Amino acid sequence: MQSFRTELENPLVEKDIIDLERKIRLFREGKLQEDKFKSLRLARGVYGQRQQGVQMVRIKLPFGRLTTKQLLRISDISDEYSTGNLHLTTRQDIQIHFVSLDRTPELWAKLEQDDITLREACGNTVRNITASPEAGVDPNEPFDVSPYADAAFEYFLRNPICQDMGRKFKVSFSSSDSDTAMAYMHDIGYIAKVREVNGKLERGFKVMLGGGLGAQPVLAEVAYEFLPEDQFIPFMEGVIRIFDRYGERNNRNKARFKYLMNKFGKEEVMRLVEEEAKAFKVHSFQVDKTKDYTPAIPAPQEIPDYIIEDTDKYNTWLKTNVFKQKQEGYYGVYLKIPIGDISSVTARKLAPLVKNFAADELRVTQSQNLLLKCVREEALPYVFAELDVLGLAEPGFNSVADITTCPGTDTCNLGISNSTNFTKVLENVVVQEYPELLFNRDIKIKISGCMNSCGQHGMADLGFHGSSIKNGKNVLPALQVLVGGGTLGNGEGRIANKVIKVPSKRGIDVLRYVINDYNENKQEGEKFYAYYDRQGKDHFYQLLKPLADLTTLAPEDFVDWGHQEEFATAIGVGECAGVMIDLVATLLFESDEKLEWAEEAFADKRFADAIYHSYTAFISTAKALLLDKNVKCNTQSGIINDFDTNYVAEGIFKFEPDFKSVVLQLNQNEPTDAFAKEYLSQSQLFLHEASRYRQEELGKPAPQPLKYEA
């Protein structure tokens, strides 16, 4: 376990891993509160499973990019610490399951040897930055968004402004107006744009703000039709700072940024972002143009002998899984990965094929598949033949037969009914009964194990999420059916409407009813969403109503897909974001820890970071004292105001002119050496006096006013 300390070159990474190891030990010894420990491990990619005593580890792959060397490393890690399975996610991560908590620091250290991180893959942080998988080879892209996605990942990793927000924050970069990174469903979504200024093309982004899925999906609003490229980082910083200060923290069901947008309105949010500008670490951000993100073209290889057993399958595969890149003579190849699961054995066999006949860069797609880039035209038949041997040449990428799903009740605490086995059955129905739908990219089917939309059912043309139905004294697994969602392009999208709930085993008939109805009644050239609009929600309710009839239940309806035992609901506590810690002593300890980070940042001349760590220490200290008075604290801004009301107005603490003015010097000053030093000193003094005050309160001596000045 100690060996990683000498093998890692990055001292920040080493510190992270040593800290995780130390906190696990303290947790095991009963010296660290469970909720506090949970928050820490989530921010390090370690997530509790449905099964007790094991963890899911989420491996963070910025914009889904990985090399064959990294793929092999992850495969080795999965074999050694997990089950040998790699699960591709809709956020372009890879997850492994059934990992022992005590082995996670060692696992992380081995991943970092190939520049793979777990940091901030879960928890109340900026989650993995996603991007169009085709970025860099997309024939329709104005420019490659990969450098911008990577810059955002680097800038906000370990950034103090987003380490302990009210909830997670999601960002995407789309390479073109096709919006394959789905800007409309993100907290911030960037779409590549160019405009002509004085005869020169200028890069920038259309910016979408305040979108999100979950149980209550919301479409993003347009923040900018065109934001110059050097402003995408400052804008993102401003939005996150506002979210951190004003976002809900107690009621996690209302804690996403979309609810803050609804509460304040877009114009007020934009005004608050502008108000933060003086405190930004940078006011203009230039992406490093010297760093080349273009996939390395593979050297010509002699093509070995091969046999294509099924030429019809090959021709279908060429039409559905292969596209011409913007690089002349090269092709992108999509690998359809059923339910997003690929074994380590298959991954190892795939790696040399990629290295020899494609660019040494794979991309995980938002549909839980893989994309190979820069395959030469003459190599396509051989690549198909080799992929077919591995079971990775199934046609129908991004078609009706390419269904997105989350793990559901296989591993997730929040899963209500099974989604993975249902997905397998449904894909088989499409292939066997509707083979023409392998060519149909108009209709997307997405499935989640619960209402939280990890499988993105809320934006599906035909979506399902796990549920249950009570029938007398019995409970049976069910599916909520949603219809009419989808991606329209250029930041526009549609939210699917809930239509009806049916027993899970009748889900395949939902597909048959909907597809048959569409085929029989659609107008020429009519897309599915237009058909849904023309027919209306009630048409689909009446169409599917017979499937909801519980008077015709059979014994198999009480058994979920992939199970043999009778269904029973068993929902645990979700960990999609950290749990708040409400013990006063723990909060004061947190303040002390944050001030240590502030001192380190100041010593490194990272003055903006030092200031923000000092700010979060102010907040944590004030919250601790408010909780001593049983004052409910929903937001950071609320904590600031409540402290003035309950402590400053009462004369217990004296701030000039008030606590709010002292704390919010944060956004009134540029991040200079002098201000960082003074602000840190004020925060340290506040913690010292707050700790003394609380000790006196426990002994109940009369407190003396404590004075601070802005």
User: Which residue ranges form the domains of the chain, and what is each CATH number?
Assistant: 4-112 (3.90.480.20), 138-279 (3.30.413.10), 311-389 (3.30.70.3340), 404-558 (3.30.413.10), 584-709 (1.20.120.330)
Amino acid identity, position 118: L
Residue spans of alpha helices (H) in 181-332: 232-246, 257-264, 266-275, 311-321
pLDDT at site 637: 96
Q: Which are the contacts of 558, defined by CB distance < 8 A and separation ≥ 6?
A: 474, 476, 477, 566, 567
How far apart, in whole angstroms, are the C-alpha atoms of residue 297 and residue 377? 13
Cβ atoms of residues 614 and 679 within 8 Å: yes
Nearest to 47 by CA among 689, 596, 572, 539: 572
Integer angstrom CA distances of residue 149 from 246, 293, 359, 624, 638: 26, 11, 20, 37, 33
Integer angstrom CA distances of residue 83 from 38, 68, 97, 286: 23, 20, 7, 42
pLDDT at site 224: 98
Q: Angle 94-172-338 (CA atoms, 0-180°, nearest 5)?
A: 35
pLDDT at site 52: 82
How far apart, in whole angstroms, are the C-alpha atoms of residue 685 and residue 582? 22
pLDDT at site 708: 54
pLDDT at site 495: 97
Given a cut of 70, the residues of the chain with pLDDT beneath it are 1-8, 569-583, 699-710
pLDDT at site 409: 82
Tokens of 220: 């993003």
pLDDT at site 702: 41
pLDDT at site 29: 87
Cβ atoms of residues 466 and 408 within 8 Å: yes
